[in-house]
Chains A and B, each alone.
Chain A
């Protein structure tokens, strides 16, 4: 996280624009319009990461090995493949359709390192209903960088999620977080 002192809050207009962006994104993803999301809201240079940290003692600095595992470490082509999967019409896990519903809150927007970039924090609560009996929920925080594209619209340039639930009770994270 950026040091609070370095953070310059965005103007009210930009803040509204960011909020509209996140809400539209939530609506598109939750209504199976990922193609529209990908093509109109995602920067071609996107970096999309979700990782999980191994639980270690606070004072333990000597332990060996990596401390994180990346569930997602995707670029634009990777995200496109995830979208394509459903479009094959043979992704049985999504047929009958899964239903996603998310609440996006705690939105904060700051000026980014480069002009036209914004650092955006938000929290998400997602419920996924599928296959008559299954209901799963997920809560996580997002750190995004949005960048203004050539068309003047905001695009998702980076999303990093430090996923808190170490043992994933929702079985898998096969959706756009």
Chain B
């Protein structure tokens, strides 16, 4: 059995390299994280009508997410209860039923077994159809239109799971008019551990000027982020430029104040976005307050624990689906605000795909790092060591307005430490009751020195 207590040390900000390599750790992650946490499924905007469905994975479990006649969204394991074959091979669409391709058992969009070929003749009418519905995902809910599912019926509500992070997420997901994803996603493989892109997106502003030295120079010449190029100096003190936050549930982000604009390739495109932001900001301030109106105008990179990442500015939305300790499938969408003019939506999607899509200029730069930091740990000596996330250690604080724990510098590793704090807790806890019991004093691990 893995000794999880030795894998992570939150106070000192270090992690064992084995978390990127060992099969037994991976197996435990699947059981204790992916079978228990809320996981991103799809967005309301992608399945607006009754019978609309998408297929995806929760961990390595294949699921179908489908809108019911009554408008609710339910999710089911995509496997026939007869001999286990898949009941839906399409990625998305609209249907009245899911028919297994092996022997033809037919399920309703409510997951119930409706039709069995030759039922009378071959089962003598003795098959109990009522106990052979598709396995249902216990909980499905949405936050600002983003739909998540959870296999564990004892889990807290989605809102509670997001915890303090919900306050922050509303600053871009919950703006007046709402947001939507532009589908379908691009899908590609990366030979990395599923946590490596998650920890990169959760707050690694340190790599932007270096990993992306060429692309910041060529693509971001009109952005304040351009100043990071080459990691030689900062345009302003890091604490003036932005902050990190972490939350009870390990969700976190790096926020660069005022950095949302200027990231598109032409002046005209940047002006279009600037005009939109200028018009929306007063409405955001009215609904969410001045602090979040400032966050709305900021650039973000964040991760919703465990495997759902996003950027505000490039407007990327990602899921990292594990395929064993050393591989993932990356799913990528563009997110936009629903009320944006169609032309602006297209501009954002085009720029997103040029930077973070399958032919994305920044995406591929990140990929090499994710893969190498995974693969080097094949070496038995290499993986004996610990890795370091000590940046900003000792500068964490609580804020009067902003919930969770924050640290005033957007080049920081507070949110990484928060991610791995909760990661360790999830791996150690037997069940959600244990996690609830330890919830009240989570901040100590960051604040007490």
Contact = CB atoms under 8 A, between A and B. Distances in A.
Contacts of A69: 183-186, 353, 357
B213 interface: yes
A166 B183 CA distance: 14
A85 B220 CA distance: 12
Nearest to B372: A131
Contacts of A64: 46-49, 52, 94
A167 B329 contact: yes
Chain A CB within 10 Å, residue with most, of B47, B218, B353, B361:
B218
Counting chain A residues whose Cβ lies within 8 A of the other chain, the interface size class is 35 or more
Contacts, number: 139
Interface string B353-394: 110011111011101100000000000000000000000000
Contact of B361 (A62, A85, A131, A168): A85
Interface string A123-156: 0000000010000000000000000000000000
Contacts of A84: 218
A49 B89 CA distance: 27
A173 B358 contact: yes
B90 A172 contact: no
B306 to A, nearest CB: 21
B358 A172 contact: yes
Contacts of B265: 77-78, 81
Interface in A11-48: none
A63 B358 contact: no
B94 A168 contact: no
Counting chain B residues whose Cβ lies within 8 A of the other chain, the interface size class is 35 or more
B218 A93 contact: no
B69 interface: no
Contacts of A171: 188-191, 364, 367
B395 interface: no
A115 interface: no
Nearest to B51: A62
Chain B CB within 10 Å, residue with most, of A57, A77, A90, A174:
A90
B187 A85 contact: no
Nearest to A94: B214
A73 interface: yes
B151 to A, nearest CB: 24
Contact of B353 (A73, A82, A131, A166): A73
B43 to A, nearest CB: 10
Given A64-B48, A69-B353, A172-B359, A167 B188 contact: yes
B35 interface: no
Contacts of A66: 182-184
A50 B360 CA distance: 12
Given A73-B353, A171-B189, A172-B358, A56 B91 contact: yes
Interface string A94-116: 00000000000000000000000
Contacts of B230: 90
A72 interface: yes
A3 to B, nearest CB: 28
B95 A60 contact: yes
B277 interface: no
B188 A172 contact: yes
Nearest to A74: B354
A145 to B, nearest CB: 21
A147 B193 CA distance: 47
17 contacts: A54-B92, A55-B91, A56-B91, A57-B95, A60-B90, A60-B94, A64-B94, A65-B92, A65-B184, A72-B353, A72-B359, A74-B354, A84-B218, A90-B213, A92-B368, A167-B189, A171-B367
Interface of B: 45-49, 51-52, 89-95, 182-191, 211, 213-215, 217-219, 230, 265-266, 329, 349-350, 353-354, 357-361, 363-365, 367-368
User: What are the 8 A-B residue pairs with the smallest beta carbon separation, nearest first?
Assistant: A54-B184, A63-B93, A168-B188, A62-B94, A90-B213, A173-B359, A60-B93, A88-B214
